[in-house]
Amino acid sequence: MTKNMLAAVAVIFVLGNLCRFGLPWWTIAPFAAVAIFLLPQRSGLTAFFSGLIAGALVWGLAAFLADNANEGVLSSRVGELFQGAGRGGMLGVTTLIGALLGAFGALTGQMAVEMTQTPKKNYYGKRRRNGRL
């Protein structure tokens, strides 16, 4: 992991934890996009994985803390509705949803960075388009 990726994970994690208080569940995706737009990554893959890690940490931690607060009653009952998935299954699905939200939000931010950058000039001063001069 690079420093820039760790910084992006930290920013998404902090903003994601702040959005749990009074904002809708999906707000981690725009926060991840803004974080990656401000801290661009080397490629879309590193942006995707930084959002994936941060989203999994935010939602997994939130689900784990809420599950421990009610001693697993709610997650076990909801798990029974979904073909007998237990506490771990429900926590895993919740973590997966958060991870994918963060990952696709971060990928959107990286694509916005790439769209706003001007194409690089080659040696002759001409701009490259589609691999040609």
pLDDT in tens, 66-98: 888 988 888 888 888 878 778 888 889 999 999
Q: How many Cβ atoms are within 10 Å of 57's Cβ, its own excluded?
A: 19
In sequence order, what E strands does 1-133 have? none
For position 85, what pLDDT does the model report? 76
Among residues 92, 96, 7, 98, the alpha carbon closest in space to that of 46 is found at 7
For position 75, what pLDDT does the model report? 83
For position 132, what pLDDT does the model report? 55
**Is the pLDDT at 133 greater than 70, yes or no?**
no
Q: What is the per-residue pLDDT across 13-71, written as a single tens digit (0 to 9) for each? A: 999 998 878 888 899 999 999 999 999 998 999 999 999 999 999 999 998 998 889 88
The distance from CA 35 to its chain's CA centroid, rounded to whole angstroms, is 10
CA angle 118, 51, 98 (to 5 degrees): 140
Query: Length of the chain in residues, anyone?
Result: 133
